[in-house]
């Protein structure tokens, strides 16, 4: 989704602003722009399309300056176009904005009546005019921005500058993330730290409602009430290598192959002597788990699929009721919360607007605690939760989530096992579950060796318009995740069904043009699944089966790929990997933009 970079320095910053935008490309965007202050003027370059086009525009322009702001836009209000690209300008003021100003129409009408002329269809342009109007009469940019913020309803992170105060950037956030970066003789603002990693490792994460004044000498912050505050400076552990593509053709392929390591990292220090350490959720966890009588899981997209798998685990292992639902539904449906319920949010980014709003609602609803399963330390969801279980996938750049999903599953399995043991899970089943987790990195590495075989199968899909994914039990959400991957990056329409539902409708769609992909673990439902597959076969359907080693011989089809034998915990994680590879190879054959699929964003920070 939209990205912000701002730099105040004593050298020309345009190339660094554009590099920062490149590091934010993974978030998804459709246009880009940059503005710098030069000799009392605003110099601005904007373009629809890729940051590369902005770079080309800059190359011939001679635009240079010591203080500037830049933006990648993901259209919400107004089509993707150069005119709607940020920065937006009004008199001496230029602004970049992430989020949505919900009362923009009323503000636009008010500003137009006062004579301000709008040049874009965006909600964001109102901010530029409001700040310009506030500057008229009192020349302090910081005061002007602060006076405008109460008028903005919705979510925002912004960076603002004015020709009247060269070298000063003012940033503010509410509902959208913003960090300040600390350099030497220069300082920065950005919507996420990746934009600034080549420039600094030292960051201040602005809190909700904070306003920051940034210049080359320093960063000063005021809280929501206007009081000056000192926020902690954090040293980022991310290396720039972690966000490089290396030898891989796409980030997605790199991230698929990083899974054995990411899983090992997520499990590290959390299992000892064959048992999950109950302190993985903090020192009071044992008591909390004992008091937990129900679990509500809330998430979006791929993270929601992880929640659906966890629901099966928690109910089957712990015998405790568990629901998993989509955050955008949960937040508006007035959920009933029984005493003793634990709220669990799952989010790769920790910034997804609906998940964050669901968490805020949950904090008012009398849950026992709010547990975040998240990949980004210091993210809003982590900071607003009472308990945290970090996944350690490292930065995920490809929009289609891969290693974030499997590490979420590993973290949720740790939680489910620890919780189930506290609820009296049979010792043998518990120890077996933990053993499966310990074997997971090796099992996934072994599964990655199927890559060449999967690449061969991918050719069958390249000219198809539709595909059906089937699974049962924990493998139903795995099938949902497989279908999501295929539609996200190859644009093939894909649906997932619980295999038992096949004859209640989707069987009518089955013919030679509708490939049917099934994940077949060696579990208690396998006989039922094999019957469902027979139903497809006898109707002339073309089946592709990813089968557990121990049942591979029972699936009579040349398009069967045999995976390592797995138990109930490892199986859904391992089975995810071939589906990721299949989507990847199909997308490559179809020539789509694998890492930045059209219309999608990595971190959905608006509703």
Give the catalytic positions in this structure: 2, 602
Nearer to ligand G6P, 469 or 544 (CB): 469
Stretch that binds ligand G6P, among 162-170, 233-241, 343-351, 579-587 (CB under 6 A): 343-351
Q: Exactly one of 144, 197, 289, 604 binds ligand G6P (CB under 6 A); which one?
A: 604
Q: Do 375 and 390 touch, CB atoms closer than 8 A?
A: yes
Stretch that binds ligand G6P, among 294-302, 307-315, 500-508, 558-566 (CB under 6 A): 294-302
Question: Cα dihedral sign for 480, 481, 482, 483?
Answer: positive
Six-digit token pair at 559? 């398009």
Task: Report residue 468: phi and psi, to 5°.
Answer: -120, 135
Q: Which regions of 273-418 does DSSP assign to beta strands (E)? A: 275-276, 294-299, 322-326, 341-347, 369-374, 387-390
Q: Exactly one of 328, 352, 474, 490 binds ligand G6P (CB under 6 A); which one?
A: 352
**What string marks each residue from 355 to 384 as x (binds ligand G6P by CB under 6 A) or -?**
x-----------------------------
Nearer to ligand G6P, 120 or 379 (CB): 379
Residue 379 CB, nearest distance to ligand G6P (Å)?
9
CA distance 212 to 187: 11
Identify residues 390-409 at the interface with ligand G6P (CB under 6 A).
399, 401
- Give, to the nearest 10 degrees, the angle between helix 403-422 and helix 301-313: 30
Q: Do 32 and 73 touch, CB atoms closer than 8 A?
A: yes
Number of residues interacting with ligand G6P: please give it, by CB under 6 A: 15
- Bridge partners, residue 214, by sequence: 169, 219
Nearer to ligand G6P, 35 or 299 (CB): 299
- Give, to the nearest 10 degrees, the angle between helix 51-59 and helix 14-24: 170
The reply on whether position 326 binds ligand G6P by CB under 6 A is no
The reply on whether position 301 binds ligand G6P by CB under 6 A is yes
DSSP β-ladder status, 341-347 and 202-205: unpaired
Q: Exactly one of 45, 300, 318, 437 binds ligand G6P (CB under 6 A); which one?
A: 300
How many other β-carbons are positioned within 10 Å of the β-carbon of residue 40?
9
Nearer to ligand G6P, 199 or 604 (CB): 604
Six-digit token pair at 148? 């405008």
Stretch that binds ligand G6P, among 198-206, 344-352, 510-518, 584-592 (CB under 6 A): 344-352
The reply on whether position 250 binds ligand G6P by CB under 6 A is no
Nearer to ligand G6P, 107 or 346 (CB): 346
Q: Do 506 and 458 touch, CB atoms closer than 8 A?
A: no
Residue 603 CB, nearest distance to ligand G6P (Å)?
6
Identify residues 172-191 at the interface with ligand G6P (CB under 6 A).
none
Nearer to ligand G6P, 159 or 399 (CB): 399
- Give, to the nearest 10 degrees, the angle between helix 403-422 and helix 427-448: 170
Residue 1 CB, nearest distance to ligand G6P (Å)?
9
In angstroms, what CA-CA distances link 432 with 121, 233, 274, 566? 58, 43, 9, 11
The reply on whether position 349 binds ligand G6P by CB under 6 A is yes
Only one residue has tokens 């949010």, namely: 345
Report angle CA 204, 242, 68 to the nearest 5 degrees. 45
**What string marks each residue from 53 to 72 as x (binds ligand G6P by CB under 6 A) or -?**
--------------------
Stretch that binds ligand G6P, among 82-90, 146-154, 300-308, 425-433 (CB under 6 A): 300-308
Residue 263 CB, nearest distance to ligand G6P (Å)?
17
CA distance 72 to 96: 9
Residue 69 CB, nearest distance to ligand G6P (Å)?
25
DSSP β-ladder status, 466-471 and 515-520: parallel
Stretch that binds ligand G6P, among 96-104, 137-145, 341-349, 437-445 (CB under 6 A): 341-349
Burial of 426 (0-12, 13-18, 19+ CB in 10 A): exposed
The reply on whether position 303 binds ligand G6P by CB under 6 A is yes
- Give, to the nearest 10 degrees, the angle between helix 403-422 and helix 570-590: 170
Q: Exactly one of 302, 341, 370, 474 binds ligand G6P (CB under 6 A); which one?
A: 302
Which residues are at the interface with ligand G6P (CB under 6 A)?
A: 300-303, 347-349, 352, 355, 399, 401, 600, 602-604
């Amino acid at each position: 989704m939209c990205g912000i970079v701002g730099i105040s320095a004593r050298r020309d910053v345009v190339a660094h602003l554009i590099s920062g935008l490149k590091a934010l490309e993974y978030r998804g965007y459709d246009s880009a722009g940059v503005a710098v202050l030069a000799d009392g003027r605003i110099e601005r370059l904007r373009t629809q399309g890729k940051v590369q086009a902005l770079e080309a525009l800059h190359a011939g322009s001679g635009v240079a300056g010591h203080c500037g702001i830049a933006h990648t836009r993901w259209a919400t209000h107004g089509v993707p176009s150069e005119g709607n690209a940020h920065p937006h300008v009004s008199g001496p003021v230029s602004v970049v904005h992430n989020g949505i100003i919900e009362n923009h129409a009323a503000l636009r009408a008010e500003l137009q009546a006062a004579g301000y002329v709008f040049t874009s269809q965006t909600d964001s342009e109102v901010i530029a005019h409001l700040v310009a109007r506030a500057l008229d009469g009192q020349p302090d940019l910081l005061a002007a921005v602060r006076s405008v913020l109460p008028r903005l309803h919705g979510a925002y992170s912004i960076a603002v500058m004015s020709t009247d105060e060269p070298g000063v950037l003012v940033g503010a956030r509410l509902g959208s993330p913003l960090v300040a970066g600390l350099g030497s003789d220069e300082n920065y603002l950005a919507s996420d730290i990746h934009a600034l990693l080549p420039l600094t490792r030292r960051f201040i994460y602005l809190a909700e409602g904070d306003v920051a004044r940034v210049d080359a000498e320093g960063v000063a912050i005021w809280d929501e009430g206007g009081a000056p505050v000192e926020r902690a400076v954090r040293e980022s552990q991310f290396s720039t290598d972690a966000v490089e593509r290396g030898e891989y053709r796409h980030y997605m392929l790199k991230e698929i192959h990083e899974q054995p390591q990411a899983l090992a990292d997520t499990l590290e220090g959390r299992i000892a002597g064959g048992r999950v350490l109950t302190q993985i959720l903090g020192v009071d966890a044992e008591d909390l788990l004992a008091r937990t009588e129900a679990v509500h899981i809330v998430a979006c997209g791929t993270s929601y699929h992880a929640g659906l798998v966890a629901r099966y685990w928690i109910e089957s292992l712990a015998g405790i009721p568990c629901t998993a639902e989509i955050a955008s539904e949960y937040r508006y449906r007035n959920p009933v919360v029984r005493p003793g319920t634990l709220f669990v949010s799952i989010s790769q980014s920790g910034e997804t607007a609906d998940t964050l709003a669901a968490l805020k609602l949950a904090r008012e609803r009398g849950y026992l605690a709010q547990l975040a399963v998240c990949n980004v330390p210091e993210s809003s969801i982590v900071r607003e939760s009472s308990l945290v279980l970090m996944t350690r996938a490292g930065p995920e750049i490809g929009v289609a989530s891969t290693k974030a999903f499997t590490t979420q599953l590993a973290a949720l399995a740790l939680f489910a096992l620890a919780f189930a043991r506290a609820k009296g899970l049979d010792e043998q089943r518990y120890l077996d579950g933990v053993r499966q987790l310990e074997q997971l990195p090796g099992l996934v590495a072994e599964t990655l060796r199927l890559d060449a075989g999967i690449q061969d199968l991918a050719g069958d899909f390249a000219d198809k318009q539709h595909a059906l994914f089937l699974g049962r039990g924990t493998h139903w959400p795995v099938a949902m995740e497989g279908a999501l991957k295929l539609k996200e990056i190859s644009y093939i329409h894909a649906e997932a069904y619980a295999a038992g539902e096949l004859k209640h409708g989707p069987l009518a769609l089955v013919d030679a043009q509708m490939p049917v992909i099934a994940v077949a673990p060696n579990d208690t439902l396998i006989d039922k699944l094999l019957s469902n597959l027979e139903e497809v076969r006898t109707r002339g359907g073309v089946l592709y089966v990813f089968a557990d080693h121990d049942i591979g011989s029972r699936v009579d089809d040349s398009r069967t790929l045999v995976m390592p034998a797995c138990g109930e915990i490892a199986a859904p994680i391992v089975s995810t990997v071939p589906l990721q590879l299949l989507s990847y190879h199909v997308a490559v054959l179809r020539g789509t933009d694998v890492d930045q699929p059209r219309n999608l964003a990595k971190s959905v920070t608006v509703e």
